[in-house]
Amino acid sequence: MIKSGENAYPLRTPFNVPRDHSSPTHSIPAKLSVLIEMVKTLLSEKGLLRGRTFAFVNSFGKEVSAGDEQLFAELLPNGKNSSLAEIELAATIIFGLHQELKNGTLSPDRTNAIRFDPKIMQRKWGRACHEEAVAAKPLKNAFTPNRQAPDSIPYLPSGYGAAPVVAVGNFTNTPNGIEYKDSWKVLDELGPELGIPRGIIAGARREQILLSEG
């Protein structure tokens, strides 16, 4: 029976996830890389990323680069041993975001930023997700709506050879009033003065051209 007050909800609902109030970011960063993966996939499928970059901004105003997938391994050091509370919170946010994107209620705004509030997501989608998380055992199956264990969620290796995170098109300027035509040329001209050897820049440029030519 559900009691009133502090114990109004069963212990394992997402609403009772222990919170660390000393840090406003809580444990949410651990899930951002997963979110980025999902956003990339979903928005690419929808064709929303064609020719532009996007920013991912959480409710704390922290902009997250689209290229953070390599943090995934660092972000979930416990992997499958993550606590149920962590998994529930992650699942809540991911499930909610997945649904929002699917429904089209969440998409990049005019500034190409996707803003989300994990708390709202958790509140909005918590119940459905809780059911999924608790019903799905063993633990690894509770992690994401598509039932992938944390260490089996595919993420792109950093660097060349991997599919691009976002389609950047032929941009020549950044939002901060800095314009250039060729990023490699900028690196080639300015890099050596900042301690990056000219030889490896030239070599990398050659390798990159060979790779792009297949």
Residues that bind another protein (CB under 8 A): 20, 23, 25-30, 53, 62, 64-71, 74-75, 77-78, 86, 158-160, 164-168, 171, 174, 176-187, 189-191, 193-197, 200-204, 206-208, 211-212
Which CB, 46 or 160, lies closer to another protein?
A: 160
Which CB, 106 or 165, lies closer to another protein?
A: 165
Which CB, 8 or 190, lies closer to another protein?
A: 190
Residue 169 CB, nearest approach to another protein (Å): 10
Which CB, 4 or 160, lies closer to another protein?
A: 160
Lookup result for tokens 């009033």: 177
Q: Is 177 left (phi over 0), alpha (psi -120 to 50) or beta?
A: left
Which CB, 27 or 122, lies closer to another protein?
A: 27
Residue 27: name the closest of 73, 75, 65, 72 by CA: 75
Residue 3 CB, nearest approach to another protein (Å): 27
Lookup result for tokens 């992938």: 148
Residue 4 CB, nearest approach to another protein (Å): 28
Residue 132 to residue 128: CA distance in whole angstroms: 6
Residue 24 CB, nearest approach to another protein (Å): 9
Pairing of strands 55-58, 63-64: antiparallel
Residue 43: name the closest of 83, 87, 102, 91 by CA: 102
Which CB, 4 or 63, lies closer to another protein?
A: 63
Q: Is 11 left (phi over 0), alpha (psi -120 to 50) or beta?
A: alpha
Contacts of 88 (CB under 8 A, 6+ apart): 12, 13, 14, 17, 129, 130, 133, 142
Residue 81 CB, nearest approach to another protein (Å): 11
Residue 162 CB, nearest approach to another protein (Å): 8
Residue 36 to residue 94: CA distance in whole angstroms: 10
